Each structure stands twice: as structure tokens, then as C-alpha cells.
Structure 1
Amino acid sequence: MNQRRAVVTGIGVVAPGGVGTKAFWKLLTDGRTATRAISHFDASGFRSRIAAEADFNPAACGLTAEETVRMDRAAQFAVVAAREALADSGAAPEEVPAHRIGVSVGTAVGCTVTLEQQYTQVSDNGSRWVVDAADPFPHLYRALVPSAIGAEVAWAAGAQGPVRTVSTGCTSGLDAVAQGAQYIEDGTADLVLAGATDAPISPITVACFDAIKATSPNNDDPAHASRPFDRDRDGFVLGEGCAVLILEEAGAARRRGARIYCEIAGYAQRSNAFHMTGLRPDGLELAEAIRVALDRARLPVDSVDYVNAHGSGTRQNDRHETAAFKATLGEHAYRVPVSSIKSMVGHSLGAIGAIEVAACALAIEMDTVPPTANLHTPDPELGLDYVPLEAREYPVDTVLSVGSGFGGFQTAMVLTAPRPEVGHD
């Protein structure tokens, strides 16, 4: 009996700096940043007035006028990325029984943009406590429930199998991909669209992070504001975007001649049960997630060729995850390259984990490690190889990707180059 294993056969990305996987990868390997002054709304009254915005035109990306009106920006991202991923995979959903196609989509803040815009409208800019019930948006319910995003992706793919929307804060993307892999491994589905989307660049979201001073106030130099692992970092830069991956069972993908980017070899989730926004400096709960993910992948610590860090650009996160790397990888932690793509595309909350998985899959495909942009003065307290400024050509067969979310959520995932078929007892 062969063990079912999930592999990635298609990638679709909507990200700051360009729509589509090719534009996304070029931005990363060029080491360019996509952060700028917020243009989505008047941010002049906010502490942090910068973000990594996606230059996204729904019509140019193939969405109809009806779809554009019906769907929140986050859902639009997801449908566009799903269509690109399906085309990239060469999979034909119509040839797969509809009940064997699944969807697992993550999001941290759901359809925030539409909800906020509509509340502003029906409350006359917040001046009325009793809102105008005669003037709501006809699709308002879709904006209220995050599950609508998963439903939109399911409709785009004709998926009648398991459909789930995962919301675990900033680990939502990794957790959604892990859930999708679980569908493949368990035999629940044969083809899964897995990923995450968020479009959080709105007044309410910016205000939330302003309140706890988590985002960078470096408004005069947005291109250099996101500085993970740098001595002078001062917070993360909010972003937006989406990535959707096509997951298939490894043997079936090989039989149809699919290009396989990578295998999802192991994953694990843990919680610190400690604080909504704080992190324990020893990183032991993240270290435990890393250990379990590697065990599930049946790989030793020295097999890791690249670590895609959470790398948000906050002092406590950088210390927390660096401690976790040292605790689990031991001396190998000082040899393996580590980097954060948030330095270039910002932190898109729940979406970023899936976007980072897409980057990891491409790193394996291209044998290239993306850089940590803006890392000019490494924090001497950390001491690892954070791949500053420039991409590095490097043999990459195994990648460890980690995420850390408000609420204490910690997720680790191990991706490998395609491995030969194996059996089990």
C-alpha cells in the first residue's frame, strides 16, 4: 500500500509589485521592495501611513463587472490566483469528479474592506447609531462571513468536495495549505486548491496596528521601512495579496505528467497559550512545531537547505524565531540561509503564509534563495545568515517555512523537492 502524499503542481499569486507568479518571483529575486505610501484611502491621520499595495485591476485580471461588484477585494484576489494556479498546473477539473475536488482557503480579516465601506455608507460616516436599513449592499452577507471566500474559489473550480475557510491570524495561509495537504493524504480529495488571501489595507486595520505600535512609522522612507533582522527595525509593514496552490496526490500527478514544484512533506501547529500579541523569547512552542514537522517529513535537521522565516520586522518576533531555529537546528542553524520576503512584499496577515509557500516552492524549482531586503545592519544579538540584500543561487531541496500569529499560533511546514514513491507498513 502506497502512502498518499501531497505535491504542488500549480501556483497562482497576486502580490505587491505585480500580479502573477512570474512578476512575484522577479520582484523577490531582484531584491526590490513594493512598499509605498498608502493610496487606498486618506491615511494622513495615522501613525503608520505606508503599506505594500497590490497594483490589481479586476477587469484586466479577467473578472467580470458582476464578479467585481459581488466580491470583496480579498475574494477577487483568491479567484484570480486560483485561475492562474489551475492553468499553471495543467489540471483539468472537469476530468476530476467534482466531489473529489476540495478547497482550503485561509484569511485573517476576511472581507474587511467591503464591511468597512458599507458600514460607513449605511451609518452616514458613523454619525448614526441606527443605520439606514434601506440602503445596504445586496451582497453584504458575503462580506460578513469569511466562508464566502472559500465558496467563491469552489465555484471557480467547480469543487463539490470539502471546502473550508481557515482563520488563525497570521498563520492562516500555512494552516490552510496544511489542511489542503491533509485532504490529499487522507484520501478525502484528489485535487485541492489551497492558499490564502487578505486585503487588509483599510482604516480599521491600520488603526488596530497603530494602537499597539506594531507597524513601522517610517513614513518618509517606505521602501526601506520593512527591515527584518536589522538592528534598526521598527515594526512591520502591512501588505495585501494572495497565493493559491494546486495540490495533487504525488502518484497521480506523475502519471498525468504534471510538473511537480515540490512535496508538502511535513507540518505542525502549536500555541504558546501566553499572550494575544506577545511572544516568549525562548521560542519553545515554535521549536516544537519545527521538530514535529521535520519528524513527519522523516528528515534530519541538517537536511534543511533554506529557512523561510516569519521575519515580520519586529524585535520580539526576530528574537523568538531565531531562538527556535537555534533550539531545533542546533549548529546547522548557523550554516543554513534564512530570509524574510516580508521585507519586499510586506505582511499580508493571513495571506502571507501561502505567499511564502509559493516562494518556497519556487526556491526549490529555481535553486535560489530570496533575500532579506533592507538588511544593512544585522542585529548582533541574532547571529544567523539572513541572506542580506541579494538573492543567492544555492541548491535547495528542502525548505522549512514558519509562521507566527497573534493569539500565540505557531506553524511550521517542510517542503521538499519531489521524492521517489515509498511504501509503508
Structure 2
Amino acid sequence: MNRRVVITGVGVRAPGSLGKDAFWELLSAGRTATRRITFFDPSPYRSQVAAEVDFDAPAEGLSPREIRRMDRATQLAVVCARDAMNDSGLGETADPHRVGVSLGSAIASSTSLEREYLVLSDSGKRWTMSTDQLTPQMFDYMVPSIMPAEVAWAVDAEGPVVMMSAGCTSGMDSVGHGAALIREGSADVVVAGATDAPITPITVASFDAIRATTNYNDTPGQASRPFDGTRNGFVLAEGAAMFVLEELTAARRRGAHIYAEVAGFANRCNAYHMTGLKIDGREMAEAIRAALDKAKLNPDSVDYINAHGSGTKQNDRHETAAFKRSLGEHAYRTPVSSIKSMVGHSLGAIGSVEIAACVLAMENQAVPPTANLHSADPECDLDYVPVEAREHKVDTVLTVGSGFGGFQSAMVLTRGTA
């Protein structure tokens, strides 16, 4: 079965922007949305900066019951899913039994779980907790599968509904899985994407413990510095992006606007270390080669690379090596950038947020910049599009992700035509 899969709807909530148009405006302007944490007092922590979404649930149309029932990450996903469905123009024409959901998240409802733990334990002072203080929503918070279920209820999806959790590649893997459901004939439409809301004390403390996040607290707007020689860790973020995936022929038949085709996807694991990466980038390079093979494209076809670009020293060097290993000399001719320089690293959500950036780069025929890149690491010697966006032919995009556990994912997107 040769069913091609295209993106016909986009919904995104990212730091510094609400909606796809505002998101692209921020990226193309090279603006950073990183700031000192406002959700709680960050002064006890090593890293005190983050990229927060200015999300107002009532203004987004969520009812008081929905707000009480759903974790912040779920709220973000539901709002983005509704946006994506509206953007696609599908309306009520889709058969619910042929509509699926594929949602990714790294840490699920951790915001609500931490909040409720603090209530039940009197901020950690009590070892024994009284169940009479237990919120009725606690079960929902503890079961990650409730998140895609909420999305399914919001978009009337009665087909396959799945939760993907593979750390920081979850947002790409969920879209890859959604495309596979359509290719194999299990669904005609899949609402796919990812969400995470990890800006909580426990998450900040966890990344502090392994020194993965930056401590450039005095200059939050310049704290995320992928590929720069002065980088010293990533900026934690939150956000969500959801897409409507459809079978190409059906999308054309109804005259849908086609943003892009999901031409190829592959993932690998290094089976090496929970957080460490081999310097040669072999596993990511293998995922890139496999994704290109599935897309039936040569390395020279790639017009732009959306890098994982977390801003940690080992990651940026690892994927630089992977691009050279997989694309050869073409890697030196291809613009590369990291939008994490502007919107931070939203863990499981970022892969989908970056797919949204890639889709919009193709729509606008421009490459978003790597903000805060002023003094490149000599070992990161590719064209990382520093500081300012660049007009450029963008018909084929390679986007990659790397996650704790050794996960490496790659996706090839090609420009959509109506």
C-alpha cells in the first residue's frame, strides 16, 4: 500500500507566541522568548531561566470544567488540536472511525502531579497523607493515556488513539507514528503532535542536578546559545504543536491546503548511555540515512536542516558530526539552525514545535536563525544561520531530534502542493 501522507492543519502554542502566524513572526524576527521563571520563585536553583507560554485557558475557550480536569500540558494539546482541525477545513466531513490521534509527551501531567503532592504532603512536611485531600482528578494525572483521550474527545476521533513517550524525540516520533497509521490503512486522518509543560520546581531541580541546563541567569534572553562556543546548557521550556495528517489523494480531492508531505521518518537508539552521546554521531546519521531512503531522496536534496541544537556541548558536536557523516560534503552547503535558541527546549513537545517551524519555513521560503550565535565553536563548523533569518529555497527539510536514553530520530518533509 503506497499511501502518501501530508500535513493539512497546524496548531501551535509556543513561548512568545500563540498560533502559527505569531510563531513564525517570532522566529523570522530572531526574537528570543526566554526569561526569568515566573511560575515560582526560582532563586534557590542553579538555572533560573525558562521559556514560558503566555497561555490563558479561559481566553482559549476552555471551560472551567475542562481547566479543572486537564493538566496544563493537556490543555495546550487540546487547544492546538482544535486549531489544527479548524486550519485543515475538515469540519465534520471525516468519518470519526477513520480519525486517529497520536500524541507525544516526555513527562505527561507532571505539573499537576507535583502541585497535588505539595498539597497532600504539606509541601513535603508530611510522610503520611490523608486521602480526604485527594483531588478527584488525581487518577487522570497519573495515567498518561488520558492526554490523547482528551484530544480524541475534542476532535471526535474514534480510530486508533496512542500515547508516545520517548523523551525528547516524542514530538517527532508521534508524527512519524501518525503517518505510519495512515500509510498502513489504519486511519485516513490522524491528529498528531506533542505537548509538555515541565517548568516546575522538581523538573528544574532534576536538570540542575546533572547540570544540563544553563546558568546564564543574568541574561535570560541570551541564555540559549546552540553551537556557540560559550554555550553551557539548554533553556527549559513548555509548549505544544498539533497537526492534521491526511492521505494525499483524499486531501487533494477536497481541495485542502497542503503544507508539506511527511516523506520519510526513522529512529534509532545508541544503546550506550542514558545521557551521553558518542562524538561520531553514528546513530543519528543512521536515522538520517534511513529517513532519506524512505523518502527516496539523495542527501543533496536537503535544502535546510532543523537541528536538535539543544545548546549542550556534547549534543551540538554530536549532531554536527552526524550531518557530515550522513550528508557528506553537502552538509557544508546546507543552512542549519536551532529554534531552541529562541523558544527553548520543551522536552517531548519540541520535536512537534520544530516540525511546525519547518512547515512554516517551507511556506515562507526562509530559514529561521540561530539566535545568540556570535562566537561559533570551532568543532561546529557548518552554516548555522547566525542571528538573522535568511531567504532561501526550502523545498526539502531534514529535522532531527535527540533524547535521553540514546534516542535519535530524523524526519524528511517536502514542500506541499495543492
- Normalising by structure 1, we get a TM-score of 0.97
SS of 1:326 mapped into structure 2: helix
Matched, 1:190 2:188: yes
**Separation in 2, partners of 1:404, 1:211:** 20
Q: After superposition, what is the alpha-carbon deviation per residue over 1:106-141, rounded to whole angstroms, capped at 9, x for unaligned?
A: 000000100000011011111111111111111111
Indicate the residue corresponding to 2:214 in structure 1: 216
User: d(CA) in 2 for partners of 1:186 and 1:194?
Assistant: 16
Alpha-carbon deviation of 1:19?
A: 1.1
Distance 1:148 1:47 in 2: 33
1:353 corresponds in structure 2 to 351
Aligned to 2:10: 11
Q: Specify the code of the residue in structure 1 equivalent to 2:193.
A: G
Amino acid across the alignment from 1:172: S
- Structure 2 SS opposite 1:280: coil
Once the two structures are overlaid, the 10-residue window that deviates more, 135-144 or 256-265, is 135-144
Displacement after TM superposition at 1:96 (Å): 1.7
Give 1:423's aligned residue.
none
Q: Any conservation in 1 of the 2:9–2:88 contact (CA below 8 Å)?
A: yes
**In 1, distance between residues paired with 2:239 and 2:301?**
31
The answer to whether 1:96 aligns with 2:94 is yes
Match for 2:199: what amino acid? I
Name the aligned partner's letter for residue 254 of structure 1. Answer: R
- Shift in Å, 1:43: 1.1
Amino acid at match of 1:57: D
Deviation at 1:365, TM superposition (A): 1.2
Spell out structure 1 runs of 4+ moving beyond 4 A.
Answer: none
Question: Within 5 A, what are the aligned runs for 1:322-401?
Answer: 322-401=320-399
1:152 counterpart (130, 136, 150): 150
Q: What amino acid is aligned across from residue 167 of structure 2 in structure 1?
A: G
Give the corresponding residue for 1:416.
Answer: 414
Q: State the alpha-carbon separation in 2 of the partners of residues 229 and 81 from structure 1.
A: 30
The answer to whether residue 151 in structure 2 is matched with residue 138 in structure 1 is no
Partner of 2:84, secondary structure, is helix
The answer to whether the 8 A contact 2:260-2:413 is kept is yes
Report the alpha carbon displacement of residue 418 of structure 1 after superposing the two structures with TM: 2.8
**2:75 matched residue in structure 1:** 76
> What secondary structure sits across from 1:334 in the alignment?
helix
Q: CA deviation at 1:334?
A: 0.2
Residues 259, 417 of structure 2: 8 Å contact kept: no
Q: Take 2:64 and 2:22, find their aligned partners in 1: how far apart are those partners? A: 25
Structure 1 equivalent of residue 86 of structure 2: 87
1:63-86 deviation digits (Å, cap 9, x = unpaired) = 111111110000000000001111
Task: Give me the whole-angstrom Cα distance separating, in 1, the residues matched to 2:21 and 2:47.
Answer: 30
What's the counterpart of residue 29 of structure 2? 30
CA distance in 1, matches of 2:404, 2:208: 15
Separation of aligned partners in 1, 2:340 and 2:380 = 18
2:168 match: secondary structure: helix
- Find the aligned partners of 1:153 and 1:418 in 2 and give their Cα distance: 26
**Which position in structure 1 is the counterpart of 2:57?**
58
**Aligned-partner SS, 2:132:** coil
What TM-score comes out, normalization by structure 2 length?
0.99
User: In structure 2, how many angstroms separate the alpha carbons of the residues matched to 1:136 and 1:22?
Assistant: 41
- The aligned residue for residue 267 of structure 2 is 269
The alignment partner of 2:236 has SS state of coil
Matched letter for residue 360 of structure 2: L
Amino acid at match of 2:406: G
Instruction: Write the deviation string for residues 212-250 of structure 1: whole angstroms up to 9, x where unpaired.
Output: 000000000000000000010010000000000000000
Secondary structure of 1:169's partner?
coil
SS at match of 2:211: coil
Q: Aligned partners of 1:182 and 1:362: how far apart in 2?
A: 23
**Secondary structure, aligned partner of 1:399:** strand
Picking from 295, 298, 304, the partner of 1:297 is: 295
Provide Cα deviations, 1:387-412, integer angstroms capped at 9, x if missing partner. 00011110110000000000000000
Cα distance in 2 for partners of 1:329, 1:280 equals 18
Q: In structure 2, what residue type is equivalent to 1:280?
A: K
CA distance in structure 2 between the aligned counterparts of 1:382 and 1:230, rounded to whole angstroms: 8
Moved more, 395-404 or 411-420: 411-420
Q: Helix, strand or coil: the match of 2:399?
A: strand
CA offsets per residue over residues 170-206 of structure 1, 9 Å max, x none?
0000000000000111111111100000000001100
How many Å apart are 1:145 and its aligned residue?
A: 1.2
For 2:95 and 2:9, locate their aligned partners in 1 and report how far apart those are by CA, in whole Å. 19
Which of the residues 154, 162, 165 maps onto 1:164? 162
Residue equivalent to 1:285? 283
Aligned residues of 2:258 and 2:417 also touching (Cα < 8 A): no
Q: Structure 2: how far apart are the matches of 1:172 and 1:404? A: 10
Q: What is the CA–CA distance in structure 2 between the aligned matches of 1:25 and 1:201, rounded to whole Å?
A: 23
* Structure 2 residue identity aligned to 1:198: D
Aligned equivalents of 1:40 and 1:21: distance in 2? Answer: 24
**Residue in structure 2 matching 1:129, options 106, 127, 130:** 127
Quote the RMSD (CA, aligned, Å). 0.9
Q: Deviations over 1:3-29 (max 9, x none)?
A: 201100000001100111111111000
Cα drift, residue 361 of structure 1: 0.7
How far is 1:261 from its partner? 0.3
Q: Determine the C-alpha separation between the residues in 2 that align with 1:199 and 1:40.
A: 11
Q: Could you list the runs of 5+ residues in structure 1 that have no partner in the other structure?
A: 421-425
Q: Which amino acid aligns with 2:201?
A: P
d(CA) in 1 for partners of 2:417 and 2:43? 52
Query: Given that residues 6 and 260 in structure 2 are in contact (C-alpha distance below 8 angstroms), is that contact kept between their aligned partners in structure 1?
Result: yes
Offset of 1:419 from its aligned partner?
6.7
